[in-house]
Structure 1
Amino acid sequence: MAAETHTVGIAVVGFGNAGAQHVAAVQALPGVRLAAVVESDPAAARRAREAGLPVRPLSEALADPGTDAVAVCLPPGHRPAVLADAVAAGKHLIIEKLPARLPAELDEILAASARAELFSTVMFQHRFALPGPLRDEAPERFADAVGSLLISRPRSADHYREGWRAEPEAAVGGVSVHLGAHYLDLACQLLGEPVAITCLSRTDAVAGIDTELSGHIAFRSGARLTVTVTCRAAARFEQLTVLGRQDWVEVRAGATAGEVDGRPLAAPARPAAELRQDVYRELADALRGGPAPDLSRLDRSSGVVRILDGLLHSVVGANRQVAA
């Protein structure tokens, strides 16, 4: 185990919007340092240097014994080789959402990390906003629940017709992945393992890149969830509602309300920047000898990866069963 006084070094691969957010989270935490920014795009690398950040080649960052973990902030389709190299170099992982394009790809990352005895974590930071009673035994608590998820964030369709965002192999999908993934992940934390996924309707900017999608998900717990994600409406809106036999919960724009065990439950929204720091803090604490990461564990992402695979790759109206 690392010493309690160990300063945890993080290399951030990719300095786009997500990478910049990771860098800010790393720089905000005591006992965590930015070991490197890895960026192949000359303009983005120049921005990083102008900000005073240590821009280094990937091979150099991975060879550095002061690099404990690698945060991979590339588009999903551009990550596999970097993840493989990081694991081969013995580096722990923080992966930006969506962590894998397909369930099989996620399984490969998890298996490789386990063989190397490395921690693998994911930047689904909104898990840390759930109040304590919703973090434990949630699927059992909400067995047979009904739920709805509605997300709207205005975007021009042209946003999904340019660069890597227009390429299904790189981006995986459009609004369902890039706007819906966080709340779909929260739904899985509450409702458990999905077993059947039906895409009810979808509209694409280009083939495979959705601008509006509706679907239905059935969970092993008996819960059912209807989902709509769109960028075609003017309103910005995010709401997940789950109604159980006795308990209920609503997460709206990051704030949580509900009733659990007969008692009111309320938690205000927290800034996303603080929640990202929680992800890094959990990993850093583990690397200093504390408990292994829990909320940020990559294996807790299997549900959302399966749901998005089902919604994006099934025929509209067809019920797709999920393999156990």
Structure 2
Amino acid sequence: MTELAIIGYGNAGRQHLAAAGAMAGVTVARVVDTDPAATRGIGAPVGSVESVLADERIEVVAVCLPPGPRGAVVSACQSAGKHVIVEKPPARTGAELEFLLANGAAAGVLSAVMFQHRFALPPVLRSGTPERFAGAAATLMVSRHRPPAHYASPGWRSLPDEAAGGVVAHLGVHYLDLACQLLGTPVEVRLAHREDAAPSIDVRLSCSVGFANGAELTAMITSRSALRLEHLTVAGAGDWFELRDGAAHGEVDGVRIAEPRRAAGELRGQVYREVLAAVRGEGPLDLAALGRSRGVTALLDGVRAQPSLPAARIGDR
């Protein structure tokens, strides 16, 4: 039996509890949140971060805090010998990500990330070999509605140091990560338009991204539309692939791909299955590995480095 703790019991923490609680061989030994009302009546033991760190029976910790305080807690868990599952976005900066990866390696623990949509990729595209789509043309559209108050009202989502971004970092990040899994290392981010609800908290953004393999991605991510859509298309020289709202289509190595959408909860369960198998020595930590987040973290660094741009009218000289 593997004992698990969940630190942070907001939306993400509840999703982790649902995924882990449905798995055989897992006990949710502790749930931590600073708001007593959040954990009232959840049916799992409630404690503190300190109690999690001190409990040698707890092997795995899911850290579901906002990005601001998350890195320090992840680091403390690693140093206490706990394997970790980090919520997205995986880190505030590339430097923080590298620190967490090094700290986990030094402590001899596994570091994973809850990018469950990676498990929607067909097996043939999971190996992280960007040569397949060298020079590809890719497009991404993500529309996830949030009212203006979601990012502008008091709270961590409106604070740059706490939130580390807006709709791109918290909602667009899943499919941006998929683009990096397929295309490899981003080397340039060119901002076309950006709209912020608060300083550095974006609610609509369009950009183009150049990758080391010569691929180009054009992306539009918005919280301003009522439409819900996540659509990534990659057109390579011989292979093509698209993931639209979780349903996969394409042709790779001459073989057609047509896979239906799977529920997000099922995909989160896939993350937990891979992590728990790795913890038990029954398989590698591969698709869920935190180290596979370098690409998307570099991309987010590129977005954050660029302020809002003034609009230029067509015909202006």
TM-score normalized by the length of structure 1:
0.93
Give the distance between the partners of 2:45 and 2:265, measured in 1 at CA.
21
Aligned residue for 1:285? Answer: 277
> Structure 2: any 5+ residue segments left out of the alignment?
311-317
Per-residue CA deviation, residues 207-258 of structure 1 (Å, 9 max, x unaligned), is 1111100111111111110111001122111100000000000100001000
Q: Identify which of 32, 45, 48 aligns with 2:39.
A: 45
Per-residue CA deviation, residues 125-152 of structure 1 (Å, 9 max, x unaligned), is 0101111111125411101000000011
Change beyond 3 A, Cα 1:101–1:263: same
Is contact 1:200-1:316 (8 Å) kept?
no
> Structure 1 residue 133 and structure 2 residue 128: aligned?
no
Per-residue CA deviation, residues 97-146 of structure 1 (Å, 9 max, x unaligned), is 00100000000000000111110000000101111111125411101000
Is contact 2:128-2:184 (8 Å) kept?
no
Q: Identify which of 278, 288, 306 aligns with 1:296.
A: 288
* Superposed counterparts of 1:81-230, under 5 Å: 81-162=72-153, 163-230=155-222
Structure 2 SS opposite 1:222:
coil
Q: CA deviation at 1:201?
A: 1.0
Q: Percent identity?
A: 52
Aligned residue for 1:238? Answer: 230
TM-score normalized by the length of structure 2:
0.95
Give the distance between the partners of 1:21 and 1:42, measured in 2 at CA.
18
Is contact 1:198-1:317 (8 Å) kept?
no
Is contact 2:79-2:104 (8 Å) kept?
no
Aligned residue for 1:22? Answer: 16
Structure 1 SS opposite 2:276:
helix
Amino acid at match of 2:10: G
Structure 2 SS opposite 1:33:
strand
Give every structure 1 segment of 4 or more consecutive aligned residues whose post-TM-superposition deviation is greater than 4 Å: 315-318
Amino acid at match of 1:103: G
> Structure 1 residue 248 and structure 2 residue 240: aligned?
yes
Amino acid at match of 1:44: A
Structure 2 SS opposite 1:79:
helix
Amino acid at match of 2:145: P
Give the distance between the partners of 2:22 and 2:136, measured in 1 at CA.
39
Count of paired positions:
309
> Structure 1: any 5+ residue segments left out of the alignment?
1-6, 319-324
Q: CA deviation at 1:315?
A: 4.3
- How big is the alpha-carbon RMSD for the aligned residues of Structure 1 and Structure 2? 1.3
Structure 2 SS opposite 1:106:
helix
Is contact 1:199-1:310 (8 Å) kept?
no
